């Protein structure tokens, strides 16, 4: 243990000596998520805790950064689940490109719809380990990434998530904008036992395509923006231990939201249109509510929204054929960012 600390200290001293700049980068993130789901397939439950990270960055120049840090994941009331994980990464960033290699907090840069990659799953799996690339221009942006989950258990030979997203922004006027885009996820799982049901590989994934319209810059200072969208959502599954065929489900989700300075209101409705699956399969990274039709009405309260801290509470009413479920979520985010450059 002493030798590990000594080697880490040596690396820090070397990096400091050759760096032209130094930075501190991190986030404190507190999350509360309580789901009362009496009329659906997803189990009720509560997640309450923190997911915090801090990294020290060494800047050889203005575009390149080496980051060394630590991440702490803690769920309140569970003393056994206090997980420290090292964060080591390299980042290249200029005006159009961002390249990241290593381990970082996932929620810092990956924003996906709950159908594809839910916030709850990301909070419970907080550290990204892999490669990420993003290309950004004024009217479009896209990214591709691979998260290597790897040797997850004694039964799993390999596992990784592959993600891709694209957004094109069409400015209709100073106040109006259209957005065309998609989000894609592929979850690959391979067992160690090649004799298990003949073929151990599972291919599970989802794709989401959207068209959204946004109107902002209202005459009233109390209104931030209005947004409406329609999404097409497809899941696919080939669990080869059962069959070599792909099974799919497809649905659409129209939504609308109006956001004020202190609160916001939104409604979305998921309609399952097509299903070709002899059994229920679980897109583990997504939200299980999309197994069924449901509508959701959200009330958002912005307790604090500034560059120094953000605190938001959401009360959701989820309408299903059997009844009305409810969900309460709260998120507190405090970014930690400082940069020092040598003169």
DSSP H/E element including 343: none
CATH number for the domain running over 2-341:
2.40.160.40
Cβ contact 142:134 at 8 Å: yes
3 state DSSP class of 27: strand
What end-to-end distance do the CA atoms of the chain give, in Å? Answer: 37
Residue 206: how many CB atoms within 10 A of its CB? Answer: 24
Domain spans of the chain, in order of start? 2-341
Q: What is the pLDDT along the chain (343 residues), one digit of tens a residue?
A: 445 445 544 555 555 545 568 888 899 999 999 999 888 777 888 889 998 999 998 888 889 999 999 999 888 887 776 788 899 999 999 999 999 999 998 888 889 999 999 888 888 888 999 999 999 999 999 999 999 987 655 565 678 999 999 999 999 998 999 999 999 999 987 765 655 545 567 788 999 999 999 999 777 778 889 999 999 999 988 776 666 677 889 999 999 999 998 899 999 999 999 988 666 556 788 888 888 899 999 999 999 888 889 999 999 999 998 899 999 999 999 998 888 776 5
Pairwise CA distance, residues 140 & 306, whole Å: 26
DSSP H/E element including 17: helix 2-18
């Amino acid at each position: 243990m002493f030798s590990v600390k000594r080697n880490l200290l040596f690396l820090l001293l070397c990096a400091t000596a050759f760096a032209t700049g130094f930075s501190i980068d991190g986030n404190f993130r507190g999350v509360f998520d309580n789901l009362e789901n009496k009329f659906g397939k997803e189990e009720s439950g509560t997640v309450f805790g923190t997911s915090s990270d801090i990294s020290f960055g060494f800047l050889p120049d203005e575009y390149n950064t080496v980051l060394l840090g630590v991440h702490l994941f803690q769920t309140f009331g569970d003393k056994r689940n206090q997980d420290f994980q090292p964060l080591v990464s390299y980042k290249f960033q200029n005006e159009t490109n961002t390249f990241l290699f290593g381990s970082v907090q996932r929620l810092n840069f990956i924003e996906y719809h709950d159908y594809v990659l839910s916030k709850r799953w990301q909070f419970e799996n907080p550290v990204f380990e892999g490669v990420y690339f993003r290309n950004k221009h004024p009217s479009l942006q896209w990214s591709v990434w691979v998260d290597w989950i790897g040797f997850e258990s004694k039964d799993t030979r390999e596992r990784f998530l592959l993600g891709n997203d694209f957004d094109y922004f069409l400015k209709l006027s100073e106040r109006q904008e259209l957005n065309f885009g998609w989000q894609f996820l592929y979850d690959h799982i391979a067992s160690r036992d090649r004799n298990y049901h003949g073929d151990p590989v599972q291919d599970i994934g989802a794709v989401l395509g959207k068209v959204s319209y946004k109107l902002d810059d209202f005459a009233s200072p109390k209104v931030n923006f209005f947004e409406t969208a329609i999404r097409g959502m497809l899941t696919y599954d080939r669990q080869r231990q059962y069959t070599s065929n792909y099974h799919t489900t497809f649905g659409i989700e129209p939504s609308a939201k109006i956001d004020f300075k202190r609160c916001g209101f939104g409604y979305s409705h998921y309609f399952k249109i097509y299903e070709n699956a002899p059994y229920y399969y679980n897109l583990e990274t997504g939200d299980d509510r999309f197994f069924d039709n449901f509508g959701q009405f959200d009330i958002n309260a912005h307790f604090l929204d500034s560059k120094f801290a953000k605190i938001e509470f959401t009360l959701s009413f989820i309408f299903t054929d059997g009844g009305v479920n409810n969900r309460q979520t709260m998120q507190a985010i405090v970014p930690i960012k400082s940069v020092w450059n040598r003169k």
